[in-house]
Structure 1
């Protein structure tokens, strides 16, 4: 499947480019940028291949001549016009009618798992640590992309998260620029310290959030608190429409990774999120040679290995993140999978790392 970008974000950036020129007293240049726009009618459906999108981005950069174009354009994008933003709003709308604070982990996972609906030019990676959560931005087409595309994705994710959970960003790290002037410019945009690093990231502070389950700052107090107020159907509807080629196993994995640790990852909840019956879900998975339980276990095993590589997460933290009711349940499952305890596995990783450093 070729990487692609949704037409809505292209239209939003075009609108932002016109507004940018007005703000710069360069309205006379609007016809110039209009000339470089692709004819979206040439592409069926809602998406355009990233390789084609990059041609328009590079042409736009040539006309506008702004070293920080990705930052400045995406600051002007009307995010409320994006179907992705509207879908997240629909997902979390029930929280606006309660006294419960919107869990940050919920919003961050929605953005993480479904950001590819906006564009597949960038992959988001979510790293969960004690008291911190970090979005890493990874280019999927480094040979044709430049720093402006990474900048643009950063601003877009920042603005979407900020709209639902404001004032949680702690700092940013930047790989594509490292001069003092450049870092100061980032700081002026995001309002937090900007540091040079080997990864470009948004780093969020989860400390002192009283609606989370434990000291990690990662989990809500209880699934009852979240209850049935959380559903991802609007985003999943977009996925099903735009990516009909996804297998049911892939769809299950996306839903499970989004809800796990917040509501029980049962076949009932997953089927409801996919807008199908449990029997239909089971039949589709059976046709693909798997079962819901196999997909759930495979997902938990993969996430368990990932979480245990994080030095700041305890095995108890990992147990809750994987949706287990207790540490002992996770202990038994992990030992069945790998033949050792989670703590032994984690200690072995630390020992190997120390040996590699010596």
Structure 2
């Protein structure tokens, strides 16, 4: 395919199947990350809990997958198979199914990790070695039939208001920060080079036909400049109070985090002790069970030996009786031979 055709094909795919993904705010991409996280919590709660314990957000893993449509994330053959299904179905359902399939294939290995970096690195390495594209597509299409376009649209409608609210809040905070930064820049400029601002104030005064004394002192100019922007200056204490409050909140959060980490370490130590104690109890119970089994085997062996002795005695009696019977038979044969001889003599 020529380069221009390939380019317009990519544009068509992005506009048709990934609308809102690559805009300035990336609204649909954020919505899909929340949808995927909810699907993960429904299907793999143990894995998500482990990622939460490590401090890994699901979006850190799935975000690059979705934005790149798995290009350079899994082997090229698998990428082509996934793209075939996406283009055939004409929606983003296969994105979610493929990501869930990768989690199902490599989730057991991720659960064994002890660090956030190890978890992400291991998953990237395992995903990059998914050379069996047939298994991947089969797992995605057959193992996650419940992930349908209607289900995804329902979850997207559920999470989209939260994303829009966060973006609106971020925009509002950015506007306030920009205004406060403008005021700070004015104050800094007036301190180092007051002439342009003084001329601007004089020009405003002349345009309003207000008599202005051009020989006012530098301090009076500063007072007038600040007095003219009372509305802006009044906001400085509020911003300072907000900064102080944010610093206090940050210190509080850091202290809570430190306490939580210490508590987690204590709980982990206690858990290890409980596990050791439980292991000792299990070993003791196992030893007792083995001792009982050994005693039973010894008793059974003794019973077998006793039965063997009894059988030997019975066999000895049988042999004796057989010997007596054989002797009686021989004696009878001798008697019969003697009688025959006597009869012969008489004849």
Q: Which TM-score band (shorter chain)?
A: under 0.3
The normalised TM-score by structure 2 is 0.23
When you count strand as a share of all residues, which structure comes out higher? 1
Give the greater-gyration-radius structure (CA): 2
The normalised TM-score by structure 1 is 0.23
